[in-house]
């Protein structure tokens, strides 16, 4: 299977659901088992939660099997719709959170082919998922159209430097995401988790 394809993620979530080892790994590396497989440590997730006004209407793009989505929901009392292109992940999320479906819902949607459901969101959240959607600027522009007049996007993204890239690409206001935001003339605030990401990588390897 091609890595990070729908088939790859479907297999990942099937295995993760019944793996005690994976649960222990997440607990030790991330600080809490939310079936993570990216770079979102609990320190970052709790900062994200702190940015959200209680009771908001939220769209999360790339919600995986919904553990992080459910955590945000429970911490903020928000109404959340989570989208993912893994049908296995969405089915797991729906089954686990059925008793919360009045304010926490999940849909199987491939945003490279389909439109965003709903409108007038207070927040659109992307945790390690914007890479899958093509050009950053095109994606951000599209998502901004689904926000209400005071809505915000919260985007968790990591930046690496290839040999031909300038050093500035690793600075928060020089990343590819920042370049896309500047191109669209969208105001933003950045939070630099470089130290945490490095510590996460070392702990990931150690565990």
Phi, psi of 202 (to 5 degrees): -65, -45
pLDDT value for 204: 92
pLDDT value for 39: 74
Reply yes or no on domain 39-194 having CATH 2.40.50.140.
no
pLDDT value for 200: 87
Task: Name every residue whose Cβ is closer than 8 Å to that of residue 164 and which is 6 or more positions away in sequence.
Answer: none
**Which of 128, 85, 129 lies closest to 107, judged by CA?**
85
Instruction: Map tokens 């304010």 to a residue.
Output: 103
pLDDT value for 197: 87
pLDDT in tens, the chain (207 residues): 798 899 999 999 999 999 999 999 999 999 999 999 877 889 999 999 999 999 999 999 999 999 999 999 999 999 999 999 999 999 999 999 999 999 999 999 998 889 899 999 999 999 999 999 999 999 999 999 999 999 999 999 989 999 999 999 999 999 999 999 999 999 999 999 999 888 888 999 999
pLDDT value for 133: 92
Task: Name every residue whose Cβ is closer than 8 Å to that of residue 139 and which is 6 or more positions away in sequence.
Answer: 130, 133
CB 147 within 8 A of CB 84: no
Of the CA atoms within 13 Å of residue 37, those in its CB half-sphere come to 17
CA dist 180 and 174 (Å) reads 10
CB 6 within 8 A of CB 85: yes
Other residues' Cβ atoms within 10 Å of the Cβ of residue 178 = 19
Task: Name every residue whose Cβ is closer than 8 Å to that of residue 57 and which is 6 or more positions away in sequence.
Answer: 78, 79, 120, 121, 122, 123
pLDDT value for 1: 77
CA dist 158 and 175 (Å) reads 9
């Amino acid at each position: 299977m091609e890595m990070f394809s729908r088939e790859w993620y479907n297999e990942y979530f099937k295995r993760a659901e019944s793996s005690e080892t994976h649960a222990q790994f997440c607990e030790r590396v991330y600080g809490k088992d939310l079936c993570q497989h990216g770079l979102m440590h609990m320190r970052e997730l709790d900062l994200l939660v702190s940015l959200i006004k209680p009771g908001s209407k939220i769209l999360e793009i790339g919600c995986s099997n919904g553990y992080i989505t459910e955590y945000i929901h429970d911490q903020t009392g928000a109404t959340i719709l989570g989208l993912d292109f893994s049908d296995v992940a969405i089915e797991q999320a729906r089954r686990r959170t059925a008793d919360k479906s009045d304010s926490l819902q999940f849909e199987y949607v491939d945003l490279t082919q389909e439109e965003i459901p709903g409108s007038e969101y207070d927040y659109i959240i992307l945790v390690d998922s914007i890479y899958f959607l093509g050009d950053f600027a095109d994606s951000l522009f599209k998502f901004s159209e689904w926000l209400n007049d005071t809505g915000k996007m919260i985007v968790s993204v990591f930046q690496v430097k290839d040999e031909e890239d300038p050093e500035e690409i690793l600075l928060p206001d020089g990343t590819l995401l920042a370049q896309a935001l500047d191109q669209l003339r969208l105001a933003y605030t950045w939070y630099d988790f470089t130290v945490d990401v490095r510590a996460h990588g070392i702990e990931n390897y150690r565990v």
